[in-house]
Amino acid sequence: MTDVTSFDGTRLALSSWGPPDAPPLLLVHGLGMSAESWGTVPERLSDRYRVTAYDLRGHAQSGDARCGDYTMRAHARDLDAVLTHVAPGRGQVLVVAHSLGGGILLTHLDASPDERVAGAVLVGSGGSGVTAPGLPGRRLPAWLQRLLHWGWWNALRGGVRVGRLIRPAEALSDRVIRRAAFAPGEPQEFVARVRNSFLGSRPRALAGTTMASLSHDGVELGPALRVPTLLVHGSADPEVPSGEIRDLLSVLPDGELVTVPDAGHMLPFTHPDVVVTQVRRWMEKVAPSGHREGSPDGHGDPAVEGLLPATGQPARPAEPGDGHRR
């Protein structure tokens, strides 16, 4: 594990896999999670890439935010510091972001274009802030933002503390988490991992980051993603509505959408094969190496429904193994 110091002195913990001289990939996790929330994905990508994942400020092994700053801008400046470490000079990186990590990447690129970012893969992310299951993360009226602010602040700061003390609360926590992040029937072991990560989170970081993200609009910032961008979305994701994903796709200068049938929000846990396959495919698009596993157009992955280009035209349901861009 390596530490990087961010702009305000906050310590960020980085984990790396793979040869130091291999093409770099950077993984950015979501709210209440950690580098471990990528599951087996980093190790499986490390045969061909230098994979780095870091813990957001106030999360897991990273330090608390100096001066208590958990704004999206602070998280974005952390990403800048990590990119400087991962890609010194003019090196280029494929950034893979899950959930709120997509919003952090958008905030970073909206502040200023970054030549170090060669491309992006957003996994279960519309780039918008955290709201509530099934509630869009954008264009919310001010009164609803205030209500969500109050509700999240009390639920997060109080719920995490109570959950730590009262382990029978796990059953209730699991029901809430399953409804918020998982499709019906997805394995309980992954629900437990997410629950343990949230209950192990520091309330101030969790609440502060959530509050800062409430008014964050991924579609508004989408044009800042000028690099080739792949959206990987579960069709049964309760946290990120399909409409929000398609709205984001419509404003991306160079984007594609891969839909994973009947999948929820935690794709790195529940569908690592899809995530690994699509990240490899996208890496070949942004940094061709001439060494490929299978076809770069997505053939051979029956777990995906098909690709949708940024034209906004619907893709037909794919036949087994069909994953052409249209």
Cβ pair 96, 201 in contact under 8 A: no
pLDDT of residue 301: 59
| DSSP code of residue 283 | H
Residues 6 or more apart whose Cβ sits within 8 Å of residue 82: 4, 12, 14, 26, 52, 54
pLDDT of residue 310: 45
State the DSSP string of 186-237.
Answer: --HHHHHHHHHHHHTS-HHHHHHHHHHHTT--HHHHGGG--S-EEEEEETT-
Report residue 60 as tokens: 């897991």
pLDDT of residue 11: 98
d(CA 168, CA 234): 30
Whole-prediction pTM value? Answer: 0.83
pLDDT of residue 129: 65
pLDDT in tens, the chain (326 residues): 899 999 999 999 999 999 999 999 999 999 999 999 999 999 999 999 999 999 999 999 999 999 999 999 999 999 999 999 999 876 899 999 999 999 999 999 999 899 999 999 999 999 976 544 444 445 556 665 566 555 655 555 555 454 454 455 677 778 889 998 999 999 999 999 999 998 888 888 988 888 788 777 889 999 999 999 999 999 999 999 999 999 999 999 999 999 999 999 999 999 999 999 999 999 999 987 534 344 344 444 556 665 555 433 333 333 333 332 32
Sorted by where each starts, the structural domains of the chain and their CATH numbers stand as: 2-309 (3.40.50.1820)
Dihedral, 47, 124, 133, 37 alpha carbons, nearest 10: 20
Report residue 313 as tokens: 């035209």
Helices (H) and strands (E) in the chain, counts: 11, 9
pLDDT of residue 213: 81
Residues 6 or more apart whose Cβ sits within 8 Å of residue 326: 306, 307, 308, 309, 313, 315, 316
Cβ pair 75, 97 in contact under 8 A: no
Q: How much of the chain is helix, strand and coil, in % rounded to 5?
A: 40, 15, 45
